[in-house]
Structure 1
């Protein structure tokens, strides 16, 4: 990561790329704002939102700038707007002790980097690019979001809690005795259980902004913006009951299982980082698992 003492140094840094890319901009990855660099200051440009360039109404699910910030490295993705395909390279820089992202956008429409686009309509091209970007943040087995999406999305949702004076709740879910299912019935049955549980989770989050992701192994995370702890517990209980009543079948074999849930909420006064908030959820889940399983702890 490059470290700049002042905006003048950052300007000199950006000028190196003027001939290499069609557009170079500086972005605050959490606020999703484009930064204006002057000779003595770095300020957000009022009403300049990074995703407006892509003609979208909300931030990208596969946000390359959040990934660059989280992993302190440079990453590349493909995006599309105004009949052009862009390669976006995002690299973190430190300016006055704070992390920003330099986004370098290069028009690669005629390079063939994304094949089979000739003769496609704007809608078809958008769908192809969106499919490529969605694949990067989707768990292949369960078709819910993956761990990478959690790392990129949860900090943004928690930032919105502080910015908007709202609330957010989340449910961390663990399948009870999942190792025993794998050991007794085989990994194919274990995969079947994961897929069905993921389907139950998706069916119980219908509001815009709610999302579910596979954290890893047999753990899932459900995030509920604008939901308080009471409503989150209701959703968790509904999910718990549905999993308990479900029968999982594979090649004539059947198995049943239960889940344990940890539930927690964040409000503007918390000021919790994504790591702190997830730790609270994990502690609640741990309490539930050690109080008899098939339970909800909040």
Structure 2
């Protein structure tokens, strides 16, 4: 939508802004933020039990949601935790993708944890 409305150059600038804000939001020594494709990013956060995961998610969410050159950047996030029984990164990604789908169904600017998804969407895919 951004590319169609504002052009590819502006769309690329928005993606660079999102990437920079994601990088600022994660810990350099333990977390990984990557652009997965298109306008999709993946963040792997290495958190310990004493960390409050919702605080980490809110920090990322609030830092990335911003106005860039008059354009409102809003994000939707799906979150999957290792404690969801994910033995591999691929499973975590797939479950986060299911949670993202659920967040997007709720409207723009939402996030969902995988365990909060409906049973129907957990079994899909």
Query: Same fold per TM (> 0.5)?
Result: yes
- Offset from partner CA, 1:163-213 (integer Å, 9 cap, x none): xxxxxxxxxxxxxxxxx1111101111111100111111111125221111
- Offset from partner CA, 1:216-270 (integer Å, 9 cap, x none): 1101111111345x733322222222333x2222xxxx31120001111104x82
2:78 is the counterpart of 1:257 = no
2:96 is the counterpart of 1:281 = yes
Normalized per residue, the structure richer in strand is: 1
- Offset from partner CA, 1:57-106 (integer Å, 9 cap, x none): xxxxxxxxxxxxxxxxxxxxxxxxxxxxxxxxxxxxxxxxxxxxxxxxxx
SS across alignment from 1:275 = helix
2:16 is the counterpart of 1:195 = yes
For structure 2, the residue ranges without an aligned partner over 5 or more in a row are 114-125
TM normalised by structure 1 equals 0.35
SS across alignment from 2:26 = coil
Does the Cα contact within 8 Å between 2:32 and 2:43 map onto a contact in 1?
A: yes
Residue 211 of structure 1: aligned partner: 32
Does the Cα contact within 8 Å between 2:99 and 2:112 map onto a contact in 1?
A: yes
Does the Cα contact within 8 Å between 2:26 and 2:60 map onto a contact in 1?
A: no
Normalized per residue, the structure richer in helix is: 2
Q: Which stretch has the larger CA shift, 278-287 or 207-216? A: 207-216
State how 1:147-162 maps to structure 2 within 5 Å.
Answer: none
State how 1:1-298 maps to structure 2 within 5 Å.
Answer: 180-227=1-48, 231-244=52-65, 246-249=66-69, 254-267=70-83, 270=85, 272-298=87-113
Q: Alpha carbons of 1:271 and 1:281: their partners in 2 closer, same or farther (altered >3 Å)?
A: closer
Distance in 1 (CA, whole Å) between partners of 2:102 and 2:112 is 7
For structure 1, the residue ranges without an aligned partner over 5 or more in a row are 1-179
Distance in 2 (CA, whole Å) between partners of 1:281 and 1:289 is 12
What is the RMSD of the two structures over their aligned residues, measured on CA atoms?
A: 2.0
Q: Alpha carbons of 1:198 and 1:186: their partners in 2 closer, same or farther (altered >3 Å)?
A: same
Distance in 1 (CA, whole Å) between partners of 2:6 and 2:86 is 44
Quick check: which has more Rg, 1 or 2? Answer: 1
